[in-house]
Amino acid sequence: MSEIMRSALPGAEFTGFVQVSEAGLQGMITLRADLAAPQLATALKSATGCAMPKTRKITRDGAHSLVWMSPDELMILCPHAEAPALTDRLSREMAGAFVTLANVSDARAMFRVTGAMWRDALAKLCPVDFASLQTGDIRRTRAAQVAAAILVTDAQEAQIICFRSVAGYMFDLLSIAAAPGAEPALYV
């Protein structure tokens, strides 16, 4: 099946004062539930290896992550091919509880912004105080005119998730923000 699956902008890449690249297909599952329920934490731990994240945090175990999205919403990151089965498994395990799971892998596009100055690039698009954002943090915000989520994966990189339909817009935005010579020297 892999040859018939296409991410939003396969292979899109731009090199400016940071590197912008489309991350390819990424498994994403939306989970809405009472995040304090012990049964949920147990099911997630056994299915993903990840602990329940605190507010605006990401927990990770290998290829799996749990991303806090709102007081009653998580996003599960996993390999793209695994998302349907993982959605089914968790749905079965949580059957009877007030929990909603949905595979949203294809509803989204993901970009990586790589380089020491990723904060300087994103500060041009997102009304966020990036000084307060550290590795392992998630911030839902907007990038210019569209919704975005920023996942800080390490000191040199952030991942940006947006809706798939605006992947082209997001890539163009990020490329403009990262244009060589346009370093604002705000955070570094």
Partner 1 sequence: MSHRLPNGGRLIRRGKPQSFTFNGKRMTGYAGDTLAASLLANGQTLVGRSFKYHRPRGIVASGVEEPNALVGLGRGDRYEPNQRATTTEVFDGLVAESQNHWPSLDLDLLSVNNLLPQFLTAGFYYKTFLQPRAFWKHVYEPIIRRSAGLGKAPDDKARDPDRYEQIYAFCDVLIIGGGIAGLQAALSAAQSGARVALWEQTAHWGGRAPVDGVQIDGKPAQNWIKTTVEALEKMNNVHLRLRMMGAGVHDHGYVLGYERITDHAPATQAPRHRLWRMRAGHIITATGAIERPLSFAGNDVPGVMLAAAMRDYLVNYAVAAGNSVVVVTNNDDAYRTAIALRKAGLGVPAVIDARAEANGALPQEARALGLRVLTGRGVRKVKGGKRVKGVEICRIDSAGTAHSEVFDCDAIAMSGGWSPVVHLWSHCGGKLTWDTNGHFFRPDPNRPPTGADGAGFVTVCGAANGVMSAVLADAHAAVVTALGRQDLPMPAQDQLPEEDPLEPVWIMPRRAEYPLRAKMWLDYQNDVKVSDVQLAAREGYQSVEHTKRYTTLGMATDQGKLSNINGLAVLSDALGQPIPATGTTTFRPPYTPISLGAIAGEARGAVFQPLRRSPLHDWHAANGADWEPVGQWRRPFTYKRPGESRDQAVNREVRNAREAVSLLDASTLGKILVSGPDAGRFLDMLYTNMMSTLKPGKCRYGLMCNENGFLMDDGVVARIDEQSFLVHTTSGGADHVHGWMEDWLQCEWWDWKVHTVNLTEQFAQIAVVGPKARLLLERLGGMDVSADALPFMDWRAGQLGGFDVRAFRISFSGELSYEIAVPASQGAALWERLMTAGADLGIMPYGTEALHILRAEKGFIMIGDETDGTVIPQDLGLNWAISKKKTDFLGKRGMEREAMVNPDRWKLVGLETLDGSVLPHGALALGKGKNANGQAVTEGRVTSTYFSATLGRGIAMGLVAQGPERMGEELIFAGPQDKRIKTRIVDPVLYDKEGARQNV
Q: Choose the stretch contacting partner 1; rule: CB under 8 A; options: 38-46, 51-59, 149-157, 169-177.
A: 169-177
Q: How far is the CB of 171 from partner 1 (least distance, A)?
A: 10
Q: How far is the CB of 117 from partner 1 (least distance, A)?
A: 13
d(CA 149, CA 76): 14
Give me the half-sphere count of Cα atoms (radius 13 Å) on the Cβ side of residue 53: 26
> Do residues 17 and 182 lie in contact, with contact meaning Cβ atoms separated by under 8 Å?
yes
Q: Choose the stretch contacting partner 1; rule: CB under 8 A; options: 42-50, 51-59, 103-111, 148-156.
A: 103-111
The burial class, CB within 10 Å (0-12 / 13-18 / 19+), for 140 is middle
d(CA 94, CA 92): 5
Binding mask 38-77 for partner 1 (x = CB under 8 A): ----------------------------------------
The verdict on 81 binding partner 1 (CB under 8 A) reads: no
Amino acid in position 176: I
Sign of the Cα pseudo-torsion (125, 173, 103, 11, in order): negative
Residue among 51 and 176 whose Cβ is closer to partner 1:
176
DSSP 8-class letter at 21: E
Q: Provide the binding-site residues for partner 1, judged by CB under 8 A.
A: 1, 4-7, 25, 30, 32, 80, 84, 98, 100, 102-108, 123-129, 131, 144-146, 163-169, 172-173, 176-177, 179-182, 184, 186
